[in-house]
């Protein structure tokens, strides 16, 4: 019996069709890795191809390692000559040999993220750029995106003409690239870009590698960016024996530069390409696949295909809508306990998937209280995240200046220019005098050799003392808001503008929700009481380590994984899909979110539960959302029996014309009104204002206004609603849009 006989007919076709371009559309759970490895074996053993001429390329070291292991096992002798590698490793090997032809030394250095930050900081200083306004990370993000699209500093400069912000970015890009060359260094994006540049400028080198790689296989092709596309196109240009494997329905990394057009337009680039669809799924039950198929079918930008399985039909998808996020978390944790107790699953068989990292907090707290082992994959436990630890350290310092660890953590957050040498002198003085570190800071003027640094220390001490004086008449939530406002913590993240920064803002919003929830649950809430409660659920290191634990992760992190029992949590419009996606004028944004939902559904093998909440606390406010549109795309006959009753009850309670949240009059305020003092609200990416004061408008019906994304338009209607206004604007470029005034930030023209 040959190794190919255990493949299904479509898998065999993908293995046996070796000549010319091939597009293998491999649906979720359809065995694409088996196809790639068996194809390598077939080329060598049946077609007589020298292993030296076979290349398999993918994205991660883990995927490359697994592929290498399988090929070695199947091929045996000679398998070590097959080139199995990631994109970046491939390019490093090529550049180490030939980059001198581009004017670099072959002993070039590869800069990691920290090296890039140090270099960018130096460049901003040299160009007199205010990094409080223009963040180093934002420049690095722009440069990375440009390199993904093979846009050189010179081309970027031409495109930026007339746009002040883009011209500043162009200047930084030029200087950054010049410094890299001067230092004989490349960043990770350069590894791809410079290899493409080498192939385009040196026909001899290109032909050398075209001869070497006569049969090329690319895994996860839907995740390639433009630079990677050209790299592969150049390598396969001579023999054209290119096999790309991927699934356009699982293209979810647009924010990282992935270009879905690479897979959608493959047949335009290679008109003679053979297209093979792997639609038999070996992972999930029939009901789960039916739900996935019907959701993704609503996308326009996709290749037509439909997963099917010989597995049993299985249980219906359990759908539950709960009163709030706490009940949702309680139900999911209770359901896991029940299934483990009944022997249906172990903890390690269960996974909770959600759209944003901030959603993990409620589940973590429930798991800690219930003594259930869990692990966050692809992220950090909520209370261990930097921004949460920073803000809690401020609260700890205000509550108890004896906590030296907390004080040292925040003395330079945000940066105050207090150097390590100064802090060491303070520490030495504290030990000499038997003082806490904070009390030594209060006496900074008396410490020898501190000098002018004492002025900076005094500013920090004054801030802490001021906050301490307000503890008696401020709620904890008000205190936290004032810390955020006065330190500019969120303002710095907003200025950075990266995906990471937005995620950190969401985590801060969730911390505020935690504080407000604590205040609502206690008769006499105090700062000390809150910190004590947090300490009880934040001791994540005490959890037992082992292989049997519930997995928590974002949907993006879940790609490529599978679990017998999966929970998709927070399935509400405004959460998933996000509000920003819903109001976007780019239809591809909602399609990307739907693909993410499809990925989530297809992670489940046997049981899938979908949950949502009628109301959820976001940044300390109660927000009312409808059931996610993606859930409504699943026919009721595939959902659990309780869904009809729940939907009927929910629709009866929902007022007509309700948007993604209830009218402002029904929303609980962020802060208690027990105290007259109200802190300033900080800006956020959330669409609800955190201020309890009613906003005022500088425009009225008929006025011309400008939106930062949609451009200029005319106000056609303003509807008052409690603390906010719903404004309708007829934009010149994108048509009519409705939006909340506090979020839209319209400027009168």
Out of 70, 214, 603, 723, which one is annotated catalytic? 603
Beta partners for 245?
Answer: 24
Active-site residue flag, 219: yes
Report which of 308, 281, 309, 305 is spatially closest to residue 23, judged by C-alpha positions: 305
Count the Cβ atoms, other than its own, within 10 Å of residue 665.
8
Sign of CA dihedral 581, 585, 590, 593: negative
- Can you tell me which residue has the tokens 């929910």? 650
- Can you tell me which residue has the tokens 């070291």? 61
Active-site residue flag, 636: no
Cα 247 to Cα 16, 108, 271: the distances in Å are: 20, 36, 19
Active-site residue flag, 32: yes
Out of 18, 33, 526, 658, which one is annotated catalytic? 33
Out of 177, 222, 226, 250, which one is annotated catalytic? 250
Answer for the pair 321, 613: CB distance below 8 angstroms, yes or no. yes
Tokens coding 348: 């390690």
Out of 32, 214, 283, 425, which one is annotated catalytic? 32
Report which of 162, 149, 309 is spatially closest to residue 230, judged by C-alpha positions: 149
Active-site residue flag, 717: no
Count the Cβ atoms, other than its own, within 10 Å of residue 419.
12
Active-site residue flag, 250: yes
Residue 302 CA, distance from chain mean position: 23
User: DSSP of 162-217, one letter per residue?
Assistant: T-HHHHHHHHHHHHHHHHHHHTTEE-HHHHHHHHHHHHHH-HHHHHHHHHH-SEEE
The secondary structure element, H or E, covering residue 276 is strand 274-278
Out of 148, 175, 189, 220, which one is annotated catalytic? 220
Out of 148, 175, 187, 219, which one is annotated catalytic? 219
The 10 Å CB-count burial string (b at 16+, else e) for 539-564 is ebeebeeeeebbbbbbbbbbbeebbb
The secondary structure element, H or E, covering residue 508 is helix 499-521
Active-site residue flag, 220: yes
Tell me the catalytic residues: 32-33, 219-220, 250, 603
């Amino acid at each position: 019996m040959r190794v190919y006989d255990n493949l299904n007919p479509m898998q065999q076709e993908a293995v046996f069709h070796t000549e010319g371009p091939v597009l293998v559309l491999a649906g979720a759970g359809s065995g694409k890795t088996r196809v790639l490895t068996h194809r390598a074996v077939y080329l060598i053993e049946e077609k007589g191809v020298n292993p030296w001429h076979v290349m398999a390329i993918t994205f991660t070291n883990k995927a490359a390692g697994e592929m290498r292991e399988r090929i070695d096992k199947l091929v045996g002798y000679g398998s070590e000559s097959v080139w199995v590698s990631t994109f970046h490793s491939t390019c490093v090997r090529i550049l180490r040999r030939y980059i001198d032809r581009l004017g670099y030394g072959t002993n070039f250095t590869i800069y990691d993220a920290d090296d890039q930050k140090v270099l960018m900081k130096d460049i901003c200083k040299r160009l007199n750029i205010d990094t409080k306004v223009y963040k180093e990370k934002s420049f690095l993000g722009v440069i990375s995106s440009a390199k993904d699209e093979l846009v050189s500093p010179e081309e970027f400069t031409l495109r930026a003409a007339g746009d002040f912000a883009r011209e500043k970015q162009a200047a930084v890009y030029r200087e950054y690239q010049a410094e890299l060359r001067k230092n004989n260094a490349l960043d990770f994006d350069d590894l791809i870009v410079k290899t493409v540049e080498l192939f385009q400028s040196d026909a001899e080198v290109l032909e050398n590698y075209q001869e070497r790689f006569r049969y090329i296989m690319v895994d996860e092709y839907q995740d390639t960016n433009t630079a990677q596309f050209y790299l592969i196109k150049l390598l396969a240009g001579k023999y054209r024996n290119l096999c790309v494997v991927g699934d356009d329905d699982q293209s979810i990394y647009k924010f990282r530069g992935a270009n879905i057009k690479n897979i959608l337009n493959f047949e335009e680039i290679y008109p003679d390409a053979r297209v093979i669809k792997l639609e038999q799924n070996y992972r999930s039950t029939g009901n789960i696949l039916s739900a996935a198929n019907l959701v993704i079918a609503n996308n326009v930008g996709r290749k037509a295909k439909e997963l099917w399985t010989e597995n049993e039909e299985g249980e219906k998808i359990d759908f539950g809508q709960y009163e709030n996020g706490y009940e949702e978390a309680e139900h999911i944790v209770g359901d896991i306990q029940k299934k483990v107790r009944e022997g249906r699953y172990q903890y390690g068989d269960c996974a909770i998937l959600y759209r944003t990292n901030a959603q993990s907090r409620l589940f973590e707290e429930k798991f800690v209280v219930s003594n259930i082992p869990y692990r966050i994959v692809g992220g950090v436990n909520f209370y261990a995240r930097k921004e949460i630890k920073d803000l809690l350290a401020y609260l700890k310092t205000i509550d108890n200046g004896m906590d030296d660890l907390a004080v040292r953590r925040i003395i330079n957050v945000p940066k105050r220019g207090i150097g390590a040498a100064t802090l060491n002198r303070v520490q030495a003085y504290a030990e000499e005098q038997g003082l806490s570190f904070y009390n030594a800071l209060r006496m900074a003027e008396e410490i020898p050799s501190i000098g002018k640094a004492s002025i900076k220390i005094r500013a920090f001490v004054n801030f802490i003392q001021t906050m301490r004086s307000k503890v008696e008449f401020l709620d904890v939530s008000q205190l936290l808001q004032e810390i955020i406002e006065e330190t500019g913590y969120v303002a710095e993240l907003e200025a950075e503008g990266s995906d990471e920064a937005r995620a950190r803002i969401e985590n801060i919003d969730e911390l505020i929700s935690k504080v407000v929830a604590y205040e609502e649950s206690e008769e006499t809430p105090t700062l000390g009481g809150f910190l004590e409660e947090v300490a009880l659920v934040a001791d994540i290191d005490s959890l037992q380590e082992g292989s049997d634990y519930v997995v928590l992760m974002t949907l993006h992190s879940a790609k490529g994984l599978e679990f017998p029992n999966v929970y998709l949590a927070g399935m509400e419009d405004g959460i998933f899909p996000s509000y920003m996606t819903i109001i976007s004028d780019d239809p591809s944004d909602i399609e990307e979110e739907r693909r993410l939902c499809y990925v989530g559904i297809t992670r489940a093998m046997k049981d899938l539960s979908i949950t949502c909440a009628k109301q959820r606390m976001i940044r300390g406010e109660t927000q009312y959302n409808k059931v996610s549109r993606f859930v409504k795309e699943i026919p009721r006959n595939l959902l659990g029996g309780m869904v009809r009753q729940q939907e009927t009850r929910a629709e009866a309670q929902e007022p007509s014309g309700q948007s993604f949240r209830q009218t402002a009059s029904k929303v609980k305020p962020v802060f208690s009104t027990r105290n007259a003092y109200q802190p300033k609200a900080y800006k956020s990416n959330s669409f609800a204002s955190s201020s309890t004061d009613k906003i005022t408008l500088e425009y009225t019906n008929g006025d011309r206004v400008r939106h930062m994304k949609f451009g200029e338009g005319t106000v056609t209607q303003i509807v008052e609603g409690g603390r906010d206004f719903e404004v309708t604007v007829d934009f010149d470029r994108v048509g009519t849009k409705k939006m909340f005034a506090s979020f839209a930030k319209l400027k009168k023209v």
